[in-house]
Amino acid sequence: MSAKPPPHPIPTGGFNPPGSVRVSAGALELARSFAKDVTSFDRAGGWIVCFAWATRTRVKDKGDKEWTDLGPGLYLGAIRRKDAKPADIFRTNGLEFLVEIPDRILAQAKERLIEVDQSKLDKLTLR
């Protein structure tokens, strides 16, 4: 299945500050792998990985006419580094990343933890 990115940036009012959410070792490895893929297309380092909340995710297999709506959830994306304030960048074990989760969603997360969930399309969940 191929994922269609959200049509607009997630309206959070900005990125979540470092320390506002924890990220599991497994989720960090997914982000590190994604960062390597992004870097392979832009070696100048113009992008930074972002854990972001999508209000809606839709997928369809090649050849399908209809989209399948998977609802809201976390995904990995990349943001132009120039659009990020240095104070918003998380730095963990040599990886730099951003988090963009609306406050109303983060408030519902009991553990405030981004974790791997193999049952999800982008393999991520917020606990």
Three-class DSSP category at 37: helix
pTM of the model: 0.82
Distance CA 93, CA 106 (A): 23
pLDDT at 59: 84
pLDDT (0 to 100) of residue 6:
43
Q: Where are the domains of the chain?
A: 2-126
Is residue 40 a contact partner of residue 123, using CB atoms and an 8 Å limit? no
Could you confirm whether domain 2-126 is CATH 3.90.920?
no
Tens-place pLDDT, residues 33-73: 999 999 888 777 789 999 999 998 888 888 888 998 888 99
Q: Is the dihedral of CA 23, 48, 99, 94 positive or negative?
A: positive
